[in-house]
Amino acid sequence: SVAAPPGSPLGGGLTAEAASDLGLNPGTAVGASLIDAHAGGLGVIGADVSGFNLPCEHQPITSRMAMICGTSTCHLAVSGRALFVPGVWGPYLSAMVPGLWLNEGGQSATGSLIDHVVQGHAAYPQLQQQAQLRGENIYTHLNTHLDSMARSGSAADLLGSSLHVWPDFHGNRSPLADPSLKGMVVGLSLRHTLDDLALLYLATVQALALGTLHILEAMRETGHDISTVFMCGGLSKNRLFVQVQANATGMPVVLPDQMEAVLVGAAVLGACASRGYGTIQEAMARMAKVGRVVQPDPSLKSFYERKYKVFLQLFSHQREYQALMDQS
């Protein structure tokens, strides 16, 4: 077998049999493929950002991190040299962008964790009923409800000051690489109203964003210089999730103009295989487009610095508790 960089043309293209099955022409170019998350990375990370006043403009692609977020989340960063990041997969040469090394962090449960927390709450039937009456998605309704709970002129983020979540209900993939870790919630009361459901939802979203910051810090400590997040996937359609990611990391989040960025990445591979473009980076710059940029709220910098300190203490305490219980 031969390893081929992504987008490399394979063989003589489609065989007659495969072409017939697919309704395409024999010989149609076939490019070396990628897993779905890495294709999503190609669909966003190389977009031309001219005119958007982003810190990664005029900087190499190594200043960007792609987040492919849905049921779980992949955090993808590339570098010109091999960087070994504890708790983060890689480095893999040419695994996503030919000629560059890939590091891949991740969270095992993101969208699935949010669903678990929301759907398991006593107020979930009330949430469903109200959302249906308004013709809204339940998360759109929760986001609006949080806005109404916030004080006039105050960010909804601040409602999470006394409720804290450690989000590893399915273990920690990065940067601790500890499958034994469990979820934690600190600050619960006996109340089970829709307000309480909204607050728990917010605290969970904030915990996931602080998990992204945890991964980013591990990458920075080993040589990555990341200034901008490029996001795609189902959770990128949730405005609260996106805004909190920006606020917690202190970095702008770039959303693509095409929500199905994985398909854009697959098209990039095909365009290179058919010689439409000479390189993956050229194809990304021409085919991946910026849709919208979400900037962090600078007034929340101190809030998230403090909340991150609590976040780090949560897993430290969990390990302390387990060590106590493991004593014979």
Mean model confidence pLDDT for the chain:
96
The two beta strands, 228-232 and 253-256, are: parallel
The dihedral built from the CA positions of residue 7, 257, 156 and 302, taken in this order, carries a sign that is: positive
Token pair for 165: 């979540």
Domains of the chain from N-terminus onward: 32-107+223-294 (3.30.420.40), 111-216+298-326 (1.20.58.2240)
Show the tokens assigned to 227.
């200034």
Per residue in 170-205, pLDDT (tens digit) is 999 999 999 999 999 999 999 999 999 999 999 999
Q: pLDDT value at position 29?
A: 95
* 46 contacts 288 by C-beta, under 8 angstroms: yes
- Can you point out the beta strands (E) in 100-232? 101-107, 164-166, 184-186, 228-232
β-pairing verdict for 164-166 and 184-186: antiparallel
Query: Per-residue confidence at 312, pLDDT binned at 50, 70, 90?
Result: very high
CA gap 38, 96 in Å, rounded: 6
CA atoms within 13 A on the CB side of 206: 27
96-114: pLDDT as tens digits: 999 999 999 999 999 999 9
Contacts of 316 (CB under 8 A, 6+ apart): none
Would you call 90 helix, strand, or coil by DSSP? strand
Q: What distance lies between CA 139 and its chain's CA centroid?
A: 17
Which pLDDT does position 283 carry in this prediction? 96
pTM value is: 0.96
Report d(CA 186, CA 163) in Å as an integer. Answer: 6
In angstroms, the CA 2 to CA 225 distance is: 33
Could you tell me if 104 and 15 are in contact, meaning their C-beta atoms sit under 8 angstroms apart? no
Phi, psi of 77 (to 5 degrees): -135, 145
d(CA 168, CA 255): 26
Contact (CB, 8 A) for 101 and 80? yes
Residue 57 DSSP symbol: T
> Looking at the predicted structure, is the pLDDT value of residue 1 above 80?
no
Strand ranges across the sheet with 73-79: 89-93, 101-107, 73-79, 64-69, 228-232, 253-256, 290-294
Residue-level pLDDT at 320 = 96
Q: How far apart are CA 258 and CA 237, in angstroms?
A: 11
Answer whether the bond into residue 175 is a cis peptide, omega within 30°.
Answer: yes
Residues 260-280 as b/e (b if ≥16 CB within 10 A, e otherwise) read ebbebbbbbbbbbbeeebeeb
Do the beta carbons of residue 39 and residue 262 sit within 8 Å? yes
Question: pLDDT (tens digit, 9 = 90+) per residue, 254-305?
Answer: 999 988 999 999 999 999 999 999 999 999 999 999 999 999 999 999 999 9
Could you report the per-residue pLDDT of 223-266, keeping only the tens digit for each? 999 999 999 999 999 999 999 999 999 999 999 998 899 999 99
For range 218-222, the mean pLDDT: 97
> How many Å apart are CA 138 and CA 118, to the nearest integer?
9
pLDDT given for residue 45 in this prediction: 97
What is the number of other CB atoms lying within 10 angstroms of the CB of residue 292? 12
CA 266, 267, 273, 277 torsion-angle sign: negative
Mean pLDDT calculated for residue range 30-59: 96
Mean pLDDT of 143-167: 95
- Beta carbons within 8 Å of 148's beta carbon, 6+ residues apart: none
DSSP 226-250: --EEEEESGGGG-HHHHHHHHHHHT
